[in-house]
Amino acid sequence: MQAGARFFKQRFWRGIVCALVGAGLWGFSGACAQFLLSNYDITPPFVTAVRMLGAGLLFLVVLAVRQRERLAAMLRDRRTAARLVVFGAVGLYLCQITYAIVIDYTNAGTATVLQCTGIAFVMLFTCVIGRTLPRAKEFVGLVAAMFATWLIATQGDPSALSLPLPGLVWGIANGLSVAFYIMYPKRLFAEWGSFAVTGVGMFVGGVAAALVWLAGGLVGGQSLALPTLDAAGFLVFGLIVVVGTFAAFALYLHGVSIVGSVKGSLLGAIEPVSATLFSALWLGTAFSGADWAGFVLMIAMIFLVTDEKPPKEESGAAAVDGAAASTKIQDGRGGAA
């Protein structure tokens, strides 16, 4: 019993750290995107296509080298392949592109606030599916996370939240897409492991993003000319692909597979804190009183949700990441590489 409790404790805290670091790297990717969009003739759809497709290819290279049998078994399983397409093209891609659309209709601060509705949707759907009420600590953590995000994004000024109807509609769509990509792959993670599922899903999402970008040029008359980049531009693009997308999603979704959807979504709210820190350290943005208040609330939220009670909705599904996949490959049900 003591060995089992020690294993669970170590695994739980590994999930917490992975989710926090992954979400923190999203903040870094936001600073990278801000740098690219501000200094080069680049559009959000192009950045989305490059970062997702580049990270997806990197995932596939690692999988081909280290998990070739698992990758082959996943792709041979038609049901799994269909779920991966849904996860990548609907979940991962939509959460990226809808966020960019909300920024276009409103502003980055408002878009960040609306994105955090995904936390509420995750908690709502989890409670409905499990027919239970949220735990008090998680509910307080939700309130703290959303209020902290609002403070950081708007600096406490309600007038900064300009919400035209299309922006509001797309903002809700963004929150729903965030909730979807966090909750949908739960069983896929349990069967195949979070890294393999995230990798294939990212590649599928990257293909979808590239097709949308091409369609925008062919049908919508947008320019398909590749941007002219200097050494700094290429470096930042490399960082947004490798660190801000590949590492960020691999770590965050692995953490979610361990700690559960509700805790994972709350820990993901650390992103605006990270974005503010990177903007201040790299791009020279100054801290304000609202920023510091938001940081304190985010730290409080982390302490609230990082107890070691296993998540009810996922305690069985994510007990051992990828264990079912190994069994499936070994006994021949998923095919052999």
The number of domains in the chain is: 1
The reported pLDDT for the residue numbered 151 is: 77
From residue 78, how far is each of 160, 207, 334 by CA, in Å? Answer: 47, 19, 10
Q: How confident is the model at residue 328 (pLDDT cuts 50, 70, 90)?
A: very low
Does residue 3 sit within a domain? no
Does residue 333 sit within a domain? no
DSSP class of 161? -
The reported pLDDT for the residue numbered 37 is: 78
Q: How confident is the model at residue 220 (pLDDT cuts 50, 70, 90)?
A: low
Please say if the pLDDT value at position 258 is more than 60. Answer: yes
- Global confidence as pTM: 0.74
Q: What is the spatial distance between Cα 231 and Cα 249, in angstroms, rounded to a whole number?
A: 26
| Better-scored residue on pLDDT, 300 or 206 | 206
Does residue 253 sit within a domain? yes
Does residue 11 sit within a domain? no
Please say if the pLDDT value at position 149 is more than 90. Answer: no
Q: What is the spatial distance between Cα 272 and Cα 27, in angstroms, rounded to a whole number?
A: 6
Q: What is the spatial distance between Cα 311 and Cα 186, in angstroms, rounded to a whole number?
A: 12
Does residue 40 sit within a domain? no
Does residue 14 sit within a domain? no
The reported pLDDT for the residue numbered 321 is: 40
Phi, psi of 46, deg, nearest 5:
-70, -45
Q: How confident is the model at residue 160 (pLDDT cuts 50, 70, 90)?
A: low
Does residue 259 sit within a domain? yes
Please say if the pLDDT value at position 169 is more than 60. Answer: yes
Does residue 5 sit within a domain? no
Q: What percent of the chain has pLDDT over 90?
A: 25
Q: Which domain holds residue 268?
A: 46-326
Q: How confident is the model at residue 142 (pLDDT cuts 50, 70, 90)?
A: confident
Q: What is the mean pLDDT of the chain?
A: 78
**Is the backbone of residue 227 left (phi > 0), alpha (psi -120 to 50) or beta?**
beta
